[in-house]
Structure 1
Amino acid sequence: MDRQALAQARGALAQGRYPLVVAPEGATNNLPGEMAPLEPGVAQLAFWAAEDLEKANDERPLVVLPIGIHYSWRHPNWIALEARLACLERHLGISSPDAGPDNPETSSRDRLIQIGMNLLKALEQLERLKPDPAQTFSERIDAYRRHGLAKAETHFGLRAVGNLQERCRRIEQAAWDRIYREGVDQLPPLERSLADWEAREADLQLTRMRLVEHFTSVSGHYISDRPDFDRFAEMLLLVEEAIGWIEDKPWKGQPSLGPQRVEVQLGRALPVRPRLNQYRSNRREAMQVFMQDLEQALVALMPDAFRTMTTDAGEL
């Protein structure tokens, strides 16, 4: 735990000169239509700051304001999407089916599913996994996630406790402790070489964790639930980035899918100070209730519930 960073965040909140922006999911998942589990740190920081304000006899209100950020493509460019899909298919050795110009949604969905299955097969082969033929795509990708994390945790001697995000953060910290060691310049040559070796192995496990984290919110039904251009493009970018990580070189996706627009919406503010009494009597329960309220507020800001802005001021 980075106590210095926590102290700085707490001080910034209590000082109150500027708002503090926190990403409660802990990491981006590249899919605006799926929300990863929330981390409780935002609630803890809010309660700490509320206590600090009371101790200082500062009566200013303190609120957590949910913010929804939604990216989308301004004009569906099915020709560019088809070209990018064809490039992925060639790269993975998949025969490209005949495009369906009259129904690009169905054609793109089927091709993305096939690409996803081939990528998953490659990852399973990398991890020496033998999936059950009766398993669904979502079950197989969940098995891959659990196996990848367990392998990295075993390497670092970590316990497999907590949710996926918490496990990823512990693996990340363990890798950084080995990659960014202090005092390596004072080590004898052999020990320095071993430290470099350990750092390279840690970096490999960190990449394994990143791949798992990259697929945190891939459920197997994202593009089937709502087969539209935005979701196809989001999944396409996710797959391209994953291949770039595996091959250790950025994937250059061409042609461009076109300009995007961003919509920002403010949710219902959640006052913190009225919750302090509950926090003092039962911290665990107060944190849980606060995070449940925050999750509901954020879900209301997701694309399916998003009220589309009509002004051009939100376009990029």
Structure 2
Amino acid sequence: MPEKIRHAQPPLKFIPPHFNPVFLRLAQWCLPILLRFRLRPWLPAGIARVETKNVETLGKMYQQFQSGKIRFLIAFRHPEVDDPLSVFYLLSRAVPKTGIDLKKPIHSYFVYDRGMTIWAGDWVGWLFSRLGGFPIRRGKRIDRRGLQTAREMLLNGKMPVAIAPEGATNGHSGTVSPLEPGVAQLAFWCVEDLHKANRGEEVFIIPITIQYSYLKPPWQKIDWLLGKLEADSGLPVKSNVIKDLNLEENVEIYYSRLLCIAENLLSQMEEFYQRFYHQKLAEISVDVSASPSQIILARLHRLQDIGLQVAEQYFGVESQGTFIDRCRRLEEAGWSYIYREDLDLDSLPPLKRGLADWVASEADLRMQHMRLVESFVAVTANYITDKPVVERLAETALLIFDVTARLQNNTLPGRPRLGLRQSTVTVGEPISVTKRWCEYEKDKKSARQAVNNLTEDLHGTLQKMIS
């Protein structure tokens, strides 16, 4: 598992945005290096080329924004941790090349998960603040400071605001996870605030997708990765030398190895939870004609439910909602045990401090069950077979690597890079939120339905853009 938290910590403070154009220019200058190398860990990000599509649409929206005619949110897909670099390229390189007359900086404020500073380091919060970022706590029922900041930036900020509506990475370029309603709600609040201020700007959401493809299929690297997963799992290491086979045949060969690895990992984790956490395995309900991948998915969902229950029982959290909902509640529950808002840690006597440290250490350990579940929330039975391409095979293998790395005491993120990639960033057609205001303003029930409808429409748009 990752490096443990052994001591109770002071409360997580809000990190306000302190945008500094000098830091932005420095980041823009460093972008080519950042695309190839991430700062932590010092491993190649491997993005050799960024292709952008429909950029003129975004350029025109910036032009209208700067002339005071509109306000807008950028809602971008977030399959991987490298996505912000692709969005940064879009704004700093692609939009200026459209030839549309725009004032500098062509940039955006952006929202990030407060948890990033926990696993990446406090320096990330310091840097993001100066680049226009501010955090929101995903699992907190009402993050008043974060929401108030987002609302103020949307209403009066000199730049638009960028948010990943999925709330977290899912490791799948080809599948959009269920969206959190925050983007839609913030957009409606912006319309409401504009009405209260007697301002006439129209509010839009601009969907943006990011997809990755390998410049050259990394079969040798995939063979190495699968061999490592086999060895780590205690399976015989196989090796496939790809010759003159077509793409689907190549994927099929490696997919069969991947299924064996997944089945073995599931079996070991099922035994782990039965033996050491005294959990019973309920019968899985699958059709008699179910494929091996469908059976594995059913077992995975059962295991995910068990893992979440183990954590929920410890924290006293109810098992309600989707896996993503349950993960967010557990994250916030765990943080409340670690980052103590109810204690002045500096003035505690040694005994009470020791107990607080014990609680924090155990809470961090229990949260790892949730982290394992979180790694696989987007996995489907047919993700690879529906579109047998090397990218989907590699994405699934890397997700399994993430889990095995956690279980082997490795610090994440430390996944290997399999080859140079191209990032394709596509700008979708703007969605007018102002035109939906009549539906929203009727009453509370109508407002909730309007938020749900907008969230569903945004999800459908993003999924269609990557299909």
Q: TM-score higher than 0.5 here?
A: yes
Matched AA of 2:453: V
Structure 1 residue 71: Cα displacement: 1.4
Q: Distance in 1 between matches of 2:284 and 2:317?
A: 31
TM-aligned CA deviation for residue 81 of structure 1: 1.2
SS at match of 1:248: coil
Match of 2:85? none
Q: How does 1:119-268 map to 2 (within 5 A)?
A: 119-128=265-274, 130=281, 132=283, 136-181=295-340, 182-250=343-411, 256-268=417-429
Secondary structure of the 1:216 match is: coil
Alignment of 1:47-66 (within 5 A): 47-66=188-207
Could you tell me which amino acid in structure 1 is paired with residue 253 of structure 2? S
Gap change, CA 1:269 and 1:240, over 3 Å in 2: same
Deviation string, structure 1 residues 161-191 (Cα, Å, up to 9, x no partner): 2322222111111111111114122222121
Residue 274 to residue 107, structure 1, CA distance change in 2 (3 Å): same
User: Residue 131 of structure 2 corresponds to which residue in structure 1?
Assistant: none
Amino acid at match of 2:403: A
- Residues 131 and 226 of structure 1: CA distance in aligned 2, closer, same or farther (over 3 Å): farther
- Match for 2:256 among 87, 105, 110? 110
Aligned to 1:291: 455
Please say if residues 26 and 165 of structure 1, whose CA atoms lie closer than 8 Å, have aligned partners that are also in contact: no
Query: 1:13 aligned to 2:154?
Result: yes
Equivalent position SS for 1:220: coil
Partner of 1:277 in structure 2? Answer: 438
The residue matched to 2:162 in structure 1 has which SS? coil
**8 Å contact from structure 2 (residues 203, 434) kept in 1:** yes
Which region of structure 1 is more displaced relative to structure 2, 208-217 or 241-250?
A: 241-250
Is 1:46 the counterpart of 2:187? The answer is: yes
User: What do residues 125-161 of structure 1 show as CA deviations (whole Å, max 9, x unaligned)?
Assistant: 2221546487511111111111111221111111222
Check 1:131–1:116 CA distance in 2 against 1; reply closer, same or farther (3 A cut).
farther
Preserved CA contact (<8 Å) 1:92 1:118: yes
Offset of 1:98 from its aligned partner? 5.4
Alignment match of 1:68 (pick from 200, 209, 212): 209
The CA deviation at 1:257 is 1.8
Partners of 2:328 and 2:415 lie apart in 1 by 30
1:62 aligns to what SS in structure 2?
strand
Q: Is the 8 Å Cα contact of residues 71 and 261 (structure 1) preserved in structure 2?
A: yes
Deviation at 1:108, TM superposition (A): 0.5
The residue type equivalent to 2:183 in the other structure is V
Aligned-pair identity in percent equals 37
Residues 204 and 433 in structure 2, CA contact (< 8 A), matched pair in contact too: yes
TM alignment of 1:299-310, pairs within 5 A:
299-302=463-466, 305=467
User: In 1, Cα distance between the equivalents of 2:250 and 2:436?
Assistant: 51
Q: Which one of 14, 26, 49 corresponds to residue 167 of structure 2?
A: 26
SS of aligned partner of 1:96:
coil
Q: CA RMSD in A?
A: 1.9
Distance of aligned partners of 1:276 and 1:161 in 2 relative to their CA distance in 1, 3 Å threshold: same
**Secondary structure, counterpart of 2:161 in structure 1:** coil
Change (3 A) 1:43 1:134: closer
* TM-score, L = length of structure 1: 0.90
Structure 1 contact 109–227 (Cα < 8 Å) conserved: no
- Please give the per-residue CA displacement for 1:202-229, whole angstroms capped at 9, x wherever unaligned: 1012111111011101123222222221
How far is the alpha carbon of 1:253 from its aligned partner?
6.0
Higher percent of residues as strand: 2
Answer whether contact 1:131 1:140 (CA < 8 A) is retained: no
> Quick one: which amino acid aligns to residue 303 of structure 2?
Y
Return 5+ residue gaps in structure 1 as ranges.
306-316
Q: Which moved further from structure 2: 133-142 or 261-270?
A: 133-142
Match of 1:314 in 2: none
The total of aligned residue pairs comes to 302
* Alignment TM-score, normalising by the size of structure 2: 0.62
Structure with the higher fraction of residues in helix conformation: 1
How far apart in 1 are the matches of 2:285 and 2:323? Answer: 25
